[in-house]
Amino acid sequence: MKLMIGALTAVGVVASAPVSAKHHEEDGMAHSDTNLRTIMMHERRAEDKARDKYRHPTQTINFFGIEPSHTVVEYVPGGGWYTRILAPYVAEKGKYIGLTFAPDPLPFGDEAKERIRGFPTKFPTDVAEWTSMPAAKFAAYTTDMVPEEANGTADYVIIPRMMHNLMRWNLADSEIKVMRNMLKDGGMVGIIQHRAKDGTPFSYADGNKGYLRTDTVVKFMEAHGFELVKQSEVNANPKDTADYPKGVWTLPPRYAEGETDKAKYTEIGESDRMTLLFKKLP
């Protein structure tokens, strides 16, 4: 994985000035349509709602500009936290596609890789159970098995808290190329990522602690044919010092230190996160 690590500051790499979290909380609620409001309050999200105060999904979706008519690819949906919002939001007028790693290059055992190979079959069924919609409405692929007809069809690719894994597992180049191919001309990539402080040594902010510097992410995306359109502070958390020996997993919900200083980490909350929107260049 070839990273272009510049000496740029966060100010130097942004295309427009950051927007305050307060502004986007107000903006998100002002422009959220009835469909999205209903989805956010649905009982399927009963357990998910506790994390809304850290993840600001309504505001984030509105900041990215996702609309019900869009085709949206969610990269590595995991347990489906964002899926339970995005899939029903676009299912009727647009399309939802789950996308996950190509299993072979992963530093995982054979059993884990086999589960990933089953993702294209299993995941639409999971989404159907979460949404009470037919599984046929949803598609899912591993990045090494994306059909040709899916290329050039996506309006958005969303990458929530996954860039650090792509960097530390040396997968970023190959995976982002697949995502770029799936996008329409001018399609967008929305990235939410645990954020290291500006100037943090690369030895800490290389992904292995879960944190990346903003300039690292921006320069990487630029090198792969994208431009930064705008960024938001909607998912910022100034309480996060982003310097823990056990990395971002020290904070909730993982609590890597166990009971040690748990109250302190609970008070900090989930990680400080960059929220970036990129456009695919010709």
| Tens-digit pLDDT string for the chain (282 aa) | 333 333 333 333 333 333 433 333 334 444 447 899 999 999 999 999 999 999 999 999 999 999 999 999 999 999 999 999 999 999 999 999 999 999 999 999 999 999 999 999 999 999 999 999 999 999 999 999 999 999 999 999 999 999 999 999 999 999 999 999 999 999 999 999 999 999 999 999 999 999 999 999 999 999 999 999 999 999 999 999 999 999 999 999 999 999 999 999 999 999 999 999 999 999
CA distances to 50, 51, 88, 266 from 258, rounded to whole Å, are 20, 20, 36, 12
The CA distance from 168 to 259, in Å, is 28
Closest CA to 74 of 165, 169, 173, 192: 192
Q: For residue 194, what are the β-bridge partners?
A: 273
DSSP state letter for 272: P
Q: For residue 158, what are the β-bridge partners?
A: 74, 190
Q: 188-226 burial by CB neighbour count: b if 16+ within 10 A, else e?
A: bbbbbbbbbbeebeeebbbbebbbbbbbbbbbbbbebeb
* In contact, 159 and 75? CB cutoff 8 Å: yes
Q: Would you list the DSSP string of 40-73?
A: HHSGGGTTGGGGHHHH-HHHHHHHHT--TTSEEE
What's the predicted TM-score (pTM) here? 0.88
Residue with tokens 């979460």: 130
21's enclosing H/E stretch is: helix 21-31
CATH number, span 10-280: 3.40.50.150
Q: Terminal CA-to-CA distance of the chain, rounded, Å?
A: 23
The CA distance from 266 to 131, in Å, is 31
